[in-house]
Structure 1
């Protein structure tokens, strides 16, 4: 999303992810092909049109030869469609909640099928990450955190609220839902320029030929996805159950603790726990009293939930004490690793190396004190941080707030009892009230 120049640096998706093991298409998008011809329609295709008309709510679901081309492709991939139908039982309710709270059409959730095939670990060639395929800069601008411990672009909940915020902003600027969806692929700048070139009418099918080739196919693919995910039974496609528990609970964690130790102590399947918590880079939850973190767990009974909550948040429950002892023992068994280094090969870039090791380009620059993105073959660069041992939360740490798009100092001050603009400026050494998205502000010194 965002115009192609901006999409790489600021866009949500830039070039969407290519997951060839899931959908064998040549484009850099999980569920998109750029090699669509111009098939003709037949009388039997009117069935597809009637069905799309029945699904249409807020977003127009126009039917034409381009949409039919994608319907044909998706229906021929029954096995892959079945997998995504199963995953949607878990992910779609999360997406729907964020979209509903933002006042957005429910249909927008289907964008994630095209972008990532519902894979929270999806990474595109251009570095877009997560189910919504956010680029780093846009993610920062919409309040997502990427640091040594977490990449919230992979968090289905937080990334969905950020995506919803983006769609609200894009629709305000464009005023048409199909073109807003197109903007998620190529950017609002590219879309507004295409509208101007086409004569100023905000209609995707009139603007289509002025958009990038991939975006020309993106919207037909979206409409076809809506069809396939709703009428799959009519074409003999069966939903495949997800390989993890889609019934879950969420616990807030106010200390540093490894996911492996939680799995061992609470007798959870570690693989399942990691699937449910994809944003934690080091498999460590870096919670604190000032900034608790969420842990998604398979649904458990009330007693087990209470015991686990106590141990993760310093309770004194007897059962919790038993789990706590087991957790410390499990954590002690985890190896302490040193930083990993990589020797640069000809043709490799910071982006390709970051994708290879699941790191961020910005992390690589910080770890290696790089001022530019230029690399030299044979150069050794650090591609991971050393793991840190279990630690109790630091009571003297400060409370911070990450600035989001549209935030002002006065608005932030209103969020915290007893805080004022002057106090925030003093704590952060600000001479002016100018702030930018992604900036981390100290709110109080505890």
Structure 2
């Protein structure tokens, strides 16, 4: 029997690895040498958050599931250098239970969200329209402050498959041990840390326990990030002080920015309109329902019979590690589908389950999963495949390359031992393609970026400016580096605005930038 439940969308967002994880209790603590008023503000803008955002914007999910229309005009006219009084008054207007302290550290994170990482914030704003109702319903269930929903912004940037360098996973970045203690299922086939509904329920229960211990939301939030042991030691070494800002320097370094970033995220999502931020929505079906299945089912079976892309099934069902739903009659599992195919599934359920049944489930049993260094995918079998070597070029990323060769990003990482999607120009990547298509894919290396994008039906507008032009001696030139925005570049030149750089270089927005690009800068004087 199949039971149908209405469910608001949860989708796979953004790519790849959130590094604001629940770190181990034995992290190195630094001595408290100064009071809060003397904090080094530059040190507080933790590079972990910045690196995470750079990685997210270049990820496969962002580039392929969100539509960035380069013909549309995205305003670069937004408020900058607002006086402290504006922020203070706005914070006062936010209905809050969690103390939203404002200081120079929080101000730096606000600028990161509202000025330096606007594209990613707009993506998260779009995703929040679907995730936040799930979060709010759960928080209300446990009588918790609704603003705790913004914690997921810091944890995972609303990416349900985010995995940190220390193994934390999902929207709420649970470590394995904590997740099991909170009764989340983690098997070779299922990881409920990546289930938005169940993981949110576990996060709410865990945060409630931490608040019961400390009686303070700042300390509970800090303990959620670095573990109660680190917070307890910070309290003890500060002589029993229980104010977050007073134990600030006794916390692990990456936790210091955690609460300020949470406060800044709360402000940003409450006042995004005042900063001319516009939500962006993913280019996948947003109206979905859930069916409960009670027998083994492979995504390939659903994809073949309902003509829905497997990547979309993965996006809507991030909790299944190996494209397999290991359901049984006495243990059903959910399958999230777009509304326009949900009735087709109900009508064709017998045919779907029977499709090539013995191929996917011989003798109606689960096949042993392929072992892989704690990866959450089964690598494709390279037997019968032809090896193609591709040399990384400026502007390439893992998502683009996997799309050009029609392989999974997870396989590309596995074949080449790629960690955190970091690749370098000149690096040679091994890619395994069908033997009959080897000659075709060998030609990819000689294609221009525009030709490669055209081969998969994608626009090459962001990169059409890559033709080399002679430098004009009447201008200065700036070479774009990783993470640069027009705002960042303008700050390097007195009297030059981001709008001026944009007009001079015929750019419509930050997405016209690429690493190595030379931008004209008007000479002054």
**Shorter-chain TM band:** 0.5 to 0.7
Confirm or deny that 1:21 pairs with 2:55: yes
The equivalent of 1:60 in structure 2 is 99
Q: Structure 1 331/54 Cα, relative in aligned 2: closer, same or farther at 3 Å? A: farther
The equivalent of 1:122 in structure 2 is 162
| Structure 1 residue 100: Cα displacement | 1.5
| Structure 1 residue 269: Cα displacement | 3.6
Confirm or deny that 1:204 pairs with 2:241: no
For 1:285 and 1:259, the matched residues in 2 are separated by 8
Q: Structure 1 6/358 Cα, relative in aligned 2: closer, same or farther at 3 Å? A: farther
Q: Structure 1 341/278 Cα, relative in aligned 2: closer, same or farther at 3 Å? A: closer
For 2:377 and 2:287, the matched residues in 1 are separated by 30
For 2:208 and 2:275, the matched residues in 1 are separated by 35
| Structure 1 residue 335: Cα displacement | 10
Confirm or deny that 1:103 pairs with 2:143: yes
The equivalent of 1:432 in structure 2 is none
How many residues are matched?
312
Q: Structure 1 47/19 Cα, relative in aligned 2: closer, same or farther at 3 Å? A: closer
Confirm or deny that 1:49 pairs with 2:88: yes
C-alpha deviations, 1:379-400, integer Å up to 9, x for none?
xxxxxxxxxxxxxxxxxxxxxx
| Structure 1 residue 332: Cα displacement | 6.2
The equivalent of 1:86 in structure 2 is 126
For 2:360 and 2:296, the matched residues in 1 are separated by 14
The equivalent of 1:5 in structure 2 is 25
Q: Structure 1 51/282 Cα, relative in aligned 2: closer, same or farther at 3 Å? A: same
Q: Structure 1 66/56 Cα, relative in aligned 2: closer, same or farther at 3 Å? A: farther
**Structure 1 unaligned runs (5+)?**
9-14, 25-41, 310-318, 343-352, 361-446
| Structure 1 residue 70: Cα displacement | 0.4
The equivalent of 1:73 in structure 2 is 112
Under a length normalisation based on structure 2, what TM-score does the superposition of the two structures give?
0.55
For 1:109 and 1:87, the matched residues in 2 are separated by 13
* Higher normalized contact order (CA 8 Å, seq sep 6+, divided by chain length): 2
Confirm or deny that 1:146 pairs with 2:186: yes
The equivalent of 2:376 in structure 1 is 358
For 1:85 and 1:7, the matched residues in 2 are separated by 33
The equivalent of 2:206 in structure 1 is 166
Q: Structure 1 77/135 Cα, relative in aligned 2: closer, same or farther at 3 Å? A: same
| Structure 1 residue 341: Cα displacement | 6.3
Confirm or deny that 1:282 pairs with 2:329: no
**Contact 1:107/1:226 (8 A) holds in 2:** yes
The equivalent of 1:329 in structure 2 is 355
For 1:226 and 1:194, the matched residues in 2 are separated by 25
Q: Structure 1 227/252 Cα, relative in aligned 2: closer, same or farther at 3 Å? A: same
For 2:148 and 2:240, the matched residues in 1 are separated by 25
Confirm or deny that 1:248 pairs with 2:288: yes
For 1:100 and 1:162, the matched residues in 2 are separated by 14
Q: Structure 1 230/333 Cα, relative in aligned 2: closer, same or farther at 3 Å? A: farther
C-alpha deviations, 1:114-172, integer Å up to 9, x for none?
11111111111101111111100110000011111101111111111111110011000
The equivalent of 1:308 in structure 2 is 345
| Structure 1 residue 99: Cα displacement | 1.5
Q: Structure 1 43/233 Cα, relative in aligned 2: closer, same or farther at 3 Å? A: closer
For 2:213 and 2:369, the matched residues in 1 are separated by 45
**Structure 2 unaligned runs (5+)?**
1-20, 29-47, 59-80, 379-525
Q: Structure 1 196/289 Cα, relative in aligned 2: closer, same or farther at 3 Å? A: same
Question: CA RMSD of the aligned region, Å?
Answer: 3.0
The equivalent of 1:272 in structure 2 is 312
**Contact 1:3/1:190 (8 A) holds in 2:** no
For 2:23 and 2:236, the matched residues in 1 are separated by 14
Q: Structure 1 66/19 Cα, relative in aligned 2: closer, same or farther at 3 Å? A: closer
The equivalent of 1:229 in structure 2 is 269
Helix, strand or coil at the partner of 1:250: strand
Helix, strand or coil at the partner of 1:285: strand
For residues 274-423 of structure 1, the aligned pairs below 5 Å read: 274-300=314-340, 305=342, 308-309=345-346, 319-320=347-348, 323-329=349-355, 340=370, 353-354=373-374, 357-358=375-376
The equivalent of 1:429 in structure 2 is none
**Contact 1:110/1:226 (8 A) holds in 2:** yes
